[in-house]
Amino acid sequence: MKKRARIMILDDNESILELLKIELEEMGFEVWAYTCPSDALTDLINNPMDLIITDLEMPQMDGLSFAKRARLIHKTPIFLFTGNDEVFASEDVAVRFDKFEMQKMLHLIDRIFEARTEHTV
């Protein structure tokens, strides 16, 4: 049986988090969803992921700080996104998040994992 890719998603907005979780699970991924960065980091220690998707702006810890800490635990690829126009205008590290961009992001994630599967078969 083929192992499903594991994706961690982190966002303080529960609506976006749930939407992403549903979409990714429908695509066949095992999804671990968090609203709290410290909980996500704690679980990451014993549960390596294939990809981490995190919001850039969160009240407890910003996505960039989370990404730096997560990379110290595992060298997992990390995708940063934001729904804030002001951050998008001033940052090169984030992808503007809206419905259209979410579909593009999901398509990109699917293609990345398809390519990985083709190279490991």
- Report the CATH number at residue 74: 3.40.50.2300
Domain contains 1: no
Q: Sign of torsion, CA 105 110 79 21?
A: positive
105 within domain boundaries: yes
Q: 85 lies in which domain range?
A: 6-120
pLDDT score recorded for residue 101? 67
pLDDT at 84: 56
**Can you tell me the distance from the alpha carbon of 50 to that of 32, in angstroms, rounded to the nearest whole number?**
11
**Distance between CA 53 and CA 67 in Å, rounded?**
9
In the predicted model, is pLDDT for residue 86 greater than 60?
A: no
30 located within any domain: yes
Tens of pLDDT, residues 13-71:
898 899 889 989 998 999 999 999 999 999 999 999 999 999 888 899 999 999 999 99
Lowest mean pLDDT among 1-10, 25-34, 37-46, 102-111: 102-111
Q: Sign of torsion, CA 103 84 14 80?
A: positive
What is the domain count for the chain?
1
| pLDDT top residue among 112 and 57 | 57
Does residue 90 lie in a domain region? yes
* Residue 55, in any domain of the structure: yes
Torsion, Cα 101 54 95 15, to 10 degrees, reads: 40
Would you say residue 98 has pLDDT above 90?
no
State the pLDDT at residue 4. Answer: 84
Q: For the residues 99-109, what does the mean pLDDT come to?
A: 72
Percent of the chain topping pLDDT 90: 43
